[in-house]
Amino acid sequence: MSKVTDTVLFNVGGTKFQIQRSLVQSYPNSYLATLVNSALVSETREIFIDHNPLAFSVILDYLRYKRLLVPKNVAQEVVELQLREFGIPCDSLTEVIEDELPSYDATMESTSLGDTVLQASTLRMDTLISDVILPYLKQHAKRGHRHVIFYLTPSSVTQKNITSELDHINDPHEWIHFPSRNGGSEKEQSDLPDLQFLLQKDQLKRLGELIAKRSGVKHVEVSEAVVSCRTENEFGLLFSKFFDIIEIRATIV
């Protein structure tokens, strides 16, 4: 019989974290503690979790320091989703760390920085599928819907201010917004790294393939669209502004 160690090894989306068992067991009723206890009984050497490793590292720091410190290259919404799924309460205020990855266009000129951004953006794509799109697909499947449309947009684009006519808008659909990390201006919100990365031609195709593979739905079609939104300037005058969005049409059965 192997000797029980004081550490446990998590494999989170391919990234490994070796931590003290006591760190996780500080929340004995959490899902993570349940996994650790199961590993202790079965002598499992590695616990696999299909989640975003960047967000998971933020949660580990929260367990260590009791402060939720979220870097700007990590979506706060994903961290909160993981905390809820793991059953870890968090009432403290979130502090956003100023250091962040540079924008996609700016860093692609540098090979090393470009590789870093590409890797981080790919992880965020996996998170988008597993934590947002798949749960919506399951909900619509349970309701008996055969088709569902997803609109991936900047936070400036809403159903209330959009003036463009979208096909099948009366069909089952979901809006997925990419908010500004720092609550910045409208210009900053329309130039988010995540959405900009997804709008690359090759990534649109890859996104559709990954959704189909992960979900098992019959067919997925991903395309770029340009929409017009009614916007009010500082003088209260209304004008139209165009935004690039992503439209995902999924045929469930």
Residue 17 to residue 68: CA distance in whole angstroms: 18
Q: What is the residue whose two structure tokens read 């990855």?
A: 101
- 3-state secondary structure string, 87-132? CCCCCCCEEEECCCCCCHHHHCCCHHHHHHHHHHHHHHHHHHHHHH
Q: Token pair of 60, please?
A: 């580990």
Q: Which CATH number fits domain 7-97: 3.30.710.10, 3.40.50.970, 3.30.70.1170, 3.30.420.60?
A: 3.30.710.10
Instruction: Quickly count: other Cβ atoms within 10 Å of residue 87's Cβ.
Output: 13
pLDDT higher than 70, residue 139:
yes
Angle at 75 between CA 71 and CA 11, to 5 degrees: 85
Mean pLDDT value of segment 1-14: 74
Percent of the chain with pLDDT over 90: 16
On whether the CB atoms of residues 175 and 151 are closer than 8 A, the answer is yes
Nearest residue to 9 (alpha-carbon basis) of 27, 34, 36, 37 = 36
Percentage of residues in the chain having pLDDT higher than 70: 72
pTM over 0.95, yes/no: no
- Domain locations in the chain as residue ranges: 7-97, 126-251
pLDDT score of 184 more than 80: no
pLDDT, residue 91, reads: 62
From the list 67, 41, 51, 65, the residue with the least C-alpha distance to 17 is 51
Are 236 and 142 in contact by the 8 Å Cβ rule? The answer is no
Residues 165-173: contacts with CB under 8 Å, at least 24 apart: 166/225, 166/227, 166/247, 168/249, 171/147, 172/140, 172/143, 172/145, 172/147, 172/148, 173/148, 173/149
Q: Is 54 exposed, middle or buried (0-12, 13-18, 19+ CB in 10 A)?
A: buried
Question: How remote is the C-alpha of 23 from its chain's centroid?
Answer: 25
